[in-house]
Structure 1
């Protein structure tokens, strides 16, 4: 395989991996929002007396639920969000490691073939 083909392949992998990282970051922000909403809801529910009527929304309908059931549901959402965020963070770290490896491979490739480096620079200058 020529160095130019190898460079194009590495550049493609770099772009794909970077896109995956951005997608993961967006998912993590979403889960952080869910986690924060669950936490705030739990805090509000804890302040209420135990005999307070509480309602759960299901679409456009409000259903009477016990405070403890709603509290447990919010705690579960909070834990699920934390677990998902931890999992995504692990995936993000793995992808960032892959980006570093691909960048190193590109550097090595350019050091091995100075002609390719000049060719790439001439394409970017125009």
Structure 2
């Protein structure tokens, strides 16, 4: 039993579109992972540097283009929150990345199977 050429073209077209879209999403997720890792590392390094200061040291928090005076414990707490949020975002992004990689591999396998069965 053979698949009609028109149906085969439709399936190939849909698979190729899905593969292209999943590759685009995968590239975006990888970029987001890099950004989150950088943000997390920056917060960790900043926290490490702030931990060497005396508790009564004047510290300032960046708010847009301005700096506002903030207590050291408040800054440390904010950095803890940023690190925790980045870690949770990285876990979510990693799951998404694995899912997209699996989809890309499946689409590539299906495309190979279809083209090999026709050739």
What residue in structure 2 maps to residue 108 of structure 1?
Answer: 113
Is it true that 1:77 corresponds to 2:58 in the alignment?
A: no
Mapped partners of 1:19, 1:85: distance in 2: 19
Of 55, 63, 73, the match for 1:58 = 63
What residue in structure 2 maps to residue 119 of structure 1?
Answer: none
Of 33, 40, 44, the match for 1:39 = 44
Is it true that 1:9 corresponds to 2:40 in the alignment?
A: no
Gaps of 5+ in 2: 1-5
What residue in structure 2 maps to residue 123 of structure 1?
Answer: none
**Deviation digits for residues 1-55 of structure 1 (CA, Å, limit 9, x no counterpart):** 5212211111111110000000001111111111111011100110001111111
**Deviation digits for residues 33-81 of structure 1 (CA, Å, limit 9, x no counterpart):** 1111101110011000111111111123221111000001001101101
The answer to whether the 8 A contact 1:28-1:85 is kept is: yes
TM-score by length of 2: 0.90
TM-score by length of 1: 0.85
Is it true that 1:29 corresponds to 2:23 in the alignment?
A: no
CA RMSD in angstroms comes to: 1.1
| Number of aligned positions between the proteins | 114
**Deviation digits for residues 78-116 of structure 1 (CA, Å, limit 9, x no counterpart):** 1101110111000000010111111111122112212xx
Displacement over 2 Å in runs of 4+: none
